Amino acid sequence: MRKFKDNLTVTGIYLVFIALLVATVYPILWVIGTSLNPGQSLLVSRMIPDHPTFAHYAELIRQTDFVLWYRNTIKIALVNAVVSTTLVAATAYAFSRFRFKGRQQGLMTLLILQMFPGFLSVMALFVLLLQTKLLDTHTGLILIYAGGSVSMGTWVMKGHFDTIPKSLEEAVFIDGGSHADAFFKIIFPLSLPAVTFVALNSFITPFMDFILPQIVLRSSEKMTLAQGLYSMVATETNSSFTLFAAGAVLVALPITCLYMYFQKYLIHGIAAGADKG
């Protein structure tokens, strides 16, 4: 009887995983099939059309501002990854290695901030950017992304810093080194999984976000990919759904490659960040 229950449990787990796999993979295959569909319809009779074509990809690149949107997004993503990782690393190192008044309260504040959705502060951010003349600029958008990454990223990276023995830093201090030397010679090289996790998430955020760019950026020449692709299908008379699907595939392809390449570092970074609080 016990063996039967165990087999039933295992079967149920497999069924759940299969259902999740289908729910995840089917939309991806459907979007790819739509992007290869010769017509303009979203409905395809087969997952991969009988006569697939890459004409929509060529049209998207040649007849739209897709390249401009991609260039804007890449620029924002790269700068955001550098700025966010720098801020998070400095904050996490301070909370991990120094003991100061208000340290626990600061950590709890960062933890609580993660519980609130970002759109709650949209109006305040809009007014702030307007007053500082950063509205409709990539700089303003990057600053918002960088500030928003500190709360979660600090906990992840601090957890990894806590696992590194302090004796390694003390050896640097004995040789006359500073905290900066200890960080760049010891902490940073040993924290590549956590650094990669924070940097990659910061890099990918501008590709996925639509709400903040839509509020901050107003000029067409400053649009990101999310804004540009949405504008292609936003009006009732626009039927560029196959172009939209092609754009979605081109956006997802580099992100997928990055996740696959850095998969080992991402897993280690998440595990290390969850190991200690």
Element (DSSP H or E) covering residue 123: helix 122-131
Per residue in 40-76, pLDDT (tens digit) is 666 655 667 777 888 889 888 988 899 999 999 999 9
Whether 270 shows a pLDDT value over 60: the answer reads: no
Whether 28 shows a pLDDT value over 90: the answer reads: no
Q: Which residue has the higher pLDDT, 91 or 271?
A: 91
82: left (phi over 0), alpha (psi -120 to 50) or beta: alpha
CATH 1.10.3720.10 correct for 64-275: yes
Collapse the DSSP code of 49 into the 3-class scheme (helix H, G, I; strand E, B; otherwise coil) and give the result.
Answer: coil
Whether 167 shows a pLDDT value over 90: the answer reads: no
Residues whose CB falls within 8 Å of the CB of residue 199, separated by 6 or more in sequence, listed in order: 81, 82, 84, 85
Collapse the DSSP code of 137 into the 3-class scheme (helix H, G, I; strand E, B; otherwise coil) and give the result.
Answer: coil
Whether 237 shows a pLDDT value over 60: the answer reads: no
Q: Which residue has the higher pLDDT, 26 or 118?
A: 26
Measure the CA–CA gap between 254 and 246, rounded to whole angstroms. Answer: 14
Query: Which of 80-94, 111-125, 169-183, 261-275 is the least confident region?
Result: 261-275
Instruction: Give the relative orientation of helices 66-97 and 192-208 as an angle to the nearest 10 degrees.
Output: 140
Residue 26 CB-half CA count within 13 A: 8
Confidence (pTM): 0.83
Task: Give span(s): CATH 1.10.3720.10, the chain.
Answer: 64-275
Query: Which of 27-31, 130-134, 200-204 is the least confident region?
Result: 27-31
Collapse the DSSP code of 232 into the 3-class scheme (helix H, G, I; strand E, B; otherwise coil) and give the result.
Answer: helix
Highest mean pLDDT: which range of 4-18, 64-78, 116-130, 154-168:
64-78
